[in-house]
Amino acid sequence: MPKALLTMVNCGPPSFSRQHTMSTPPSLTWDIFCRVIDNFGDIGVTWRLARQLAQDYGFNVRLWVDDLPSASRLIAGLDITKTVNHCAQVEIRHWQTTLPDNVTPGDIVIEAFACDLPEPWLDAMGACRKAPLWINLEYLSAEDWVDGCHGMRSIHPSRGLIKHFFFPGFTAGTGGLLKERDLDRQRESFQANAIAKPGELQVSLFAYPNAALGSLLDAWQHGGREVRCRIPEGRVLESLAPWLGHRPQPGEPVQRGRLQLDVIPFSDQDGYDRLLWQSDFNIVRGEDSFVRAQWARRPFLWHIYPQDEQAHLVKLEAFLQRYTEGLPEAAANALRSAQRDWNSERDMQNAWSELEVQLPALLAHARVWAHKQQEMGDLASRLVHFVQNQIQ
């Protein structure tokens, strides 16, 4: 468990059941606060949740985000010159140092990733006749402690407001994974119409800078089959440039032996899903793309967000332990080696050759895994049940 959380979780066991006890009035209003620390995960997760609560459930949702330029990279139609936008049925507000006077908190306030709600907002929450339900949406982890902390509460020391901790996760005792209702139908229809070049392995690459990238590209360049690797424009190009001798521009195809590289523009979230669905193998990172790769039902390599004291390697092992359950031993070993080498930035040539022969087994497993996760219920539905049980 993160040290910071140990001090925050100071009262009470999980106080909810997952029973559907009442129907939630669609008039409920939600405020979701997102502070963009770095990269796109914070806005990626909160935007996905906001959009789903609005579109799949018909709730009124306001998303407060402090960094509109980052948000505009993945939200189609967002105008960064406006302080209020409406996109996909969500009201998006620019979260500035001062909050507008005429806004009162909604029924549910989500503080994403402990982003610290502004003091005036806490004042306004305290002044409500019925305090809003305050939920801290946490980062995703497969570690065992998550089950015990999901649903815990803490009381604000001076205000008396109660905050609830909601943890995404991979077990029935956690908050689950974000997944839109219509996602599988869209994916199936896309994949049914996708055109593939016979024998070619299509790969997508979204990663942090990684010293091991050159060795993986070497493996593909000199490998036994054609590889087409699409790379959304981003930080990983820092590691591509030394291998290539220059920094490629979007739209500039590069051929090296059996490897074709295409740097492509960063798309909105829906476009990124289609890239994952189109590819036979995905390299993903962070949190949200990692989950989307699982819903794509294709084999993947995860570049986990690096943390101090190598804490991310513990998270990686926890995920591998869950994910490799039921996977034939040779495929599980190949996957573990590749994941460990990639995340420790070690030479990938051996790991790739072992992984490549296991791709059919990994594909079959990816389907089983996604099905298993889906059966447990998605994050938004578990969150709505949680809210129902709290506000009745």
- The residues annotated as belonging to the active site are 42, 287
Is residue 208 within 8 Å of 285, Cβ to Cβ?
yes
Task: Kindly give, in sequence order, each residue whose CB lies less than 8 Å from that of residue 60, ignoring residues fewer than 6 positions away.
Answer: 27, 28, 29, 30, 54, 91, 106
Tell me how far apart the alpha carbons of residues 351 and 374 are, in angstroms, rounded to a whole number: 30
Q: Is 342 among the residues that bind ligand TRH (CB under 6 A)?
A: no
Q: Is 260 among the residues that bind ligand TRH (CB under 6 A)?
A: no
Minimum Å distance from CB 9 to ligand TRH? 20
Per CB under 6 A, the segment of 193-201, 261-269, 335-343, 383-391 that binds ligand TRH is: 261-269
Q: Is 138 among the residues that bind ligand TRH (CB under 6 A)?
A: no
**Residue showing tokens 């009745």:** 392
Binding mask 192-211 for ligand TRH (x = CB under 6 A): --------------x-----
Q: Is 288 among the residues that bind ligand TRH (CB under 6 A)?
A: yes
Minimum Å distance from CB 292 to ligand TRH? 7
Minimum Å distance from CB 290 to ligand TRH? 6
Tell me how far apart the alpha carbons of residues 120 and 123 are, in angstroms, rounded to a whole number: 5
Q: Is 143 among the residues that bind ligand TRH (CB under 6 A)?
A: no
**Residue 166: beta bridge partners?**
137
Q: Is 252 among the residues that bind ligand TRH (CB under 6 A)?
A: no
If DSSP codes are grouped into helix, strand and coil, which group holds residue 267?
coil
Q: Please, how many CA atoms are within 13 Å of residue 172, restricted to the half-sphere of its CB?
A: 6
Residue nearest to ligand TRH (CB): 41
Tell me how far apart the alpha carbons of residues 310 and 307 are, in angstroms, rounded to a whole number: 6
Of the candidate residues 16, 57, 243, 305, the single one contacting ligand TRH (CB under 6 A): 305
Q: Is 33 among the residues that bind ligand TRH (CB under 6 A)?
A: no
Strand order, beta sheet including 300-303: 254-256, 259-264, 227-232, 201-205, 281-285, 300-303
Of the candidate residues 6, 21, 38, 86, the single one contacting ligand TRH (CB under 6 A): 38
Size of the site for ligand TRH (CB under 6 A): 23
| CB-nearer residue toward ligand TRH: 52 or 358 | 52
Q: Is 154 among the residues that bind ligand TRH (CB under 6 A)?
A: no
Of the candidate residues 35, 44, 61, 187, the single one contacting ligand TRH (CB under 6 A): 44
Of the candidate residues 59, 220, 272, 277, the single one contacting ligand TRH (CB under 6 A): 272
Q: Is 168 among the residues that bind ligand TRH (CB under 6 A)?
A: no
Written as one letter, the residue type at 338 is A
Token pair of 321 as six digits: 């332990």
| Strand stretches in the chain, DSSP E | 29-34, 60-65, 84-87, 90-94, 108-112, 133-137, 153-155, 162-166, 201-205, 227-232, 254-256, 259-264, 281-285, 300-303
Per CB under 6 A, the segment of 114-122, 160-168, 251-259, 264-272 that binds ligand TRH is: 264-272
Q: Is 221 among the residues that bind ligand TRH (CB under 6 A)?
A: no
**For residue 197, which of 172, 227, 162, 177 has the smallest C-alpha distance?**
227
Q: Per CB under 6 A, which of residues 58..87 are in contact with ligand TRH?
A: 74
Q: Which residues bind ligand TRH (CB under 6 A)?
A: 37-42, 44, 74, 139, 206, 232, 266-269, 272, 285-290, 305
